[in-house]
């Protein structure tokens, strides 16, 4: 289950389908999300462009990019 606090858990803003998609993928923390590429995150059923924006915001707040952006040196 996704938790909403300041200890690295995902924010409350994602929609229910997004939360389910992440939970089904075993992702409960922002650090785990950062291991995915943006493309891989988009492949999860329930995650679309709006969800990506919310998740990117959570990553940026913790100075973590999606994995493909880490490799390219973005952020």
| CATH number of the CATH domain containing 59 | 1.10.150.20
10 Å CB burial of residue 40 (0-12, 13-18, 19+) is: middle
In a domain, residue 27? The reply is yes
In a domain, residue 28? The reply is yes
Contact between 8 and 38 under an 8 Å Cβ cutoff? The reply is no
In a domain, residue 52? The reply is yes
Domain count, the chain: 1
Tens of pLDDT, residue by residue over 8-67, are: 666 667 788 998 999 999 998 888 999 999 999 999 999 999 999 999 988 888 888 887
Domain extent, residue 44, equals 16-72
pLDDT confidence of residue 20: 92
In a domain, residue 7? The reply is no
In a domain, residue 48? The reply is yes
pTM above 0.75, yes or no: no
The Cα 52–Cα 55 span in angstroms is: 5
Bigger pLDDT: 7 or 27? 27
């Amino acid at each position: 289950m996704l938790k909403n606090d300041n200890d690295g858990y995902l924010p409350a803003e994602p929609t229910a389908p997004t939360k389910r998609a992440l939970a089904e993928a075993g992702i409960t923390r922002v650090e785990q999300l950062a291991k995915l590429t943006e493309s891989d995150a988009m492949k999860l059923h329930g995650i679309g462009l709006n969800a990506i924006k919310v998740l990117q915001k959570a990553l940026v707040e913790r100075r973590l990019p999606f994995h493909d952006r880490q490799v390219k040196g973005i952020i």
